[in-house]
Amino acid sequence: MEAKYKKYILDFKRPSGTSRGIMRQKETWFLILKENDNYGIGECGILRGLSVDDRDDYETKLAWTCAHIHLGLDELWGQLLEFPSIQFGLEQAFRSLKAPNLFELFPSGFTQKKHPININGLIWMGDKDFMLRQIEEKLKAGFSCIKMKIGAIDFDTELQLLKSIRENFDKDQIELRVDANGAFSPADALSKLEALADFDLHSIEQPIKANQWEEMARLCRSTPLPIALDEELIGVFSVTEKKKLLQTIKPQYIILKPSLVGGYKGSGEWIDLVTTIGIDWWITSALESNIGLNAIAQWTYTLGNTRPQGLGTGSLFTNNFDSPLQVVNGNLFYRNNLSWQAGLIEDLCI
């Protein structure tokens, strides 16, 4: 078996804002396997400033992985605990290599019978007019669940935007989620949660920065609004530590980004733990190209979670790859009559 990797820069159509700053490009890496005449491909998606494997030796570790591909998936996965995005890229690539075709990793009703996945519409941070335009577009596009990034502009303005939605759509018509990306301080978080709760929100993601377990636990005990852990899960590698985190904080939800928590296996460990203690969950992509999104979406469908999932559509980028993935009325479909970009593997192997 041969293995190689290639870096790829995804360009945003429009700079996209979070509480951590503005993104204009997204760096990603592809692992390509070849065995006889068969190929396999996986995406190692990192988010600079967020991924635990955003390290100076990242490319060195990719090269090491390719040089040791003969060790096999299980052995390599175990040796790459501190590089969850490479773990996930390997899982995809090995599954792709053995799949019926390069991109059908989990044959199911999603890939074969046009069964959709319900997803949320994402509202990026920006000025009030920009965010309002996005909200209007998502409502017109038929989304029944909207997730709004908050924490970068004036909080009162964000409350006004939420109020404008609720004046026209109640919670039975539109499910509203917000994502603070750790923007609140422990001192003012509870008062902000109380203000947000007036708008019948489904949940808030990561109200304060990660690694403040006791403060987060206090919030989860007192909150009038369900809290979902997101960044909090990053860099927690062992099952023992995962269990300790959940028992300490006791969140209402957790959100799993496979690229950030060790792929299918790492996410599965979290799901097994929360299932035993009654904490709910959903899956979210992390600005992968359509290659990584496809791998996440197909696996997500097999889990049978009926909540709206946070699966980005790939429409943010000018240079994404053509794929059968399509969003209609707030649902993600895999259209068998649409094709993957011609010559994709050949282009990435050059």
Residues known to be catalytic: 149, 257
> Angle, to 10 degrees, between the axis of helix 58-67 and the axis of helix 84-98?
30
Going across the sheet that includes 227-229, the strands are 121-123, 145-149, 175-179, 203-205, 227-229, 253-256, 280-283
CA distances from 186 to 126, 159, 219, 220, 281 (A): 24, 19, 8, 12, 24
Decide: residue 272, CB within 10 A, 0-12 exposed, 13-18 middle, 19+ buried.
exposed
Q: Which spans in 250-342 are helix H?
A: 258-261, 263-277, 290-303
CA 39 to chain centre: 26
Cα separation, 7 vs 94, whole angstroms:
19
289: exposed, middle or buried (C-beta count within 10 Å: 0-12, 13-18, 19+)?
buried
Helix (H, G, I), strand (E, B) or coil at 309: strand
13 touches 316 (CB < 8 A) = yes
3-state secondary structure of 118: strand
Decide if 280 contacts 274 (C-beta within 8 A): yes
Pairwise CA distance, residues 179 & 203, whole Å: 8
189 near 222, Cβ under 8 Å? no
Residues ≥6 apart with Cβ < 8 Å to 241 = none
